[in-house]
Structure 1
């Protein structure tokens, strides 16, 4: 098996493991779950930079969802071949309110565009931006619709990685990290 195909299958297995763990938590706790991952283009999704980006996402989610009416009932994180990921099970509010809050974080936090914060219901339904009448996510490089740029491969892997790195470095510099 070629290296690229092997990497693809490894990432696919890691994503299947993620979905299985989400399903277990949702069945167990019967509350909305936030699945936090990182926008990680390319085959190598498990880098120190991506782990640092997720660490900031986790810290931010903890801060937001530890204030009333919300409560973090369960939190866990992994660093898998599919990239770093964290799960937050939240009580105290509707899934719609949780979705609105995570969209706000994705759009207003200095590195929120590097996060993919999905809200998943106990029946495994993922709440989408479209369901809430919200615009699609924007491309990191050109600010067009991200899905269109991804499908057409409008930007090189190098351009995407450089943009992610520069956004995070600017964030670190501004926070004196």
Structure 2
């Protein structure tokens, strides 16, 4: 599997931002943007594919439950991760609230990075709706402090993410290992 560089991640972030603005300008409707929230430079694995698919499914489920029509959907597979874009006709603040609920309640929600942009392409923040900033997925502390101080090892993050996936799938470590080994060789080609 190919790891990414910081430069690739930053370049893709800028390209994604331009594309998000293009979508909101074209449709004049709010945009939901889904990425996986995975620390480190390995951004495209079988586990990340599964996480993104679960996030996409939950977004569609939430939209359907609330009778919100999706006018455009696209999933992009990039070396820097999988990106989902969904244009919907709904109040962007209520939409962000629904997306925060997904992030807060879904078993894999901590691994979802769901942004909502209004019709002007402005990002709606969690804090504007009374939600707190996201905390560290391992200890629940300040995420920026944990990153800056390198409080948790790469192995600790990997183990935590694996446990979340196992909980989501309702299976044990051996099953996840078989899934990973059988799909990662395709990603390495």
Verify same fold: TM over 0.5: yes
Q: Distance in 2 between matches of 1:98 and 1:145?
A: 26
The reply to whether residue 156 of structure 1 matches residue 156 of structure 2 is no
Report the counterpart of residue 62 of structure 2 in structure 1: 64
What runs of 5+ residues in structure 1 fail to find an aligned partner? Answer: none
The reply to whether residue 49 of structure 1 matches residue 32 of structure 2 is no
Match of 1:75 among 49, 53, 73: 73
How far off its partner does 1:153 sit?
A: 2.1
TM-score, normalising length: structure 1: 0.88
The reply to whether residue 139 of structure 1 matches residue 133 of structure 2 is no
Cα deviation per residue 1:2-36 (whole Å; 9 max; x = unaligned)? x98x7222222222221122111111101111110
Cα deviation per residue 1:133-168 (whole Å; 9 max; x = unaligned)? 211212111112323322332211221121111101
Stretch moving more, 144-153 or 29-38: 144-153
Q: Distance in 1 between matches of 2:128 and 2:148?
A: 22
Q: Distance in 2 between matches of 1:87 and 1:161?
A: 26
Report the counterpart of residue 28 of structure 1 in structure 2: 26
Report the counterpart of residue 168 of structure 1 in structure 2: 165
1:14/1:81 contact within 8 Å kept: no
Match of 2:139, SS state, is: coil
How far off its partner does 1:102 sit?
A: 0.5
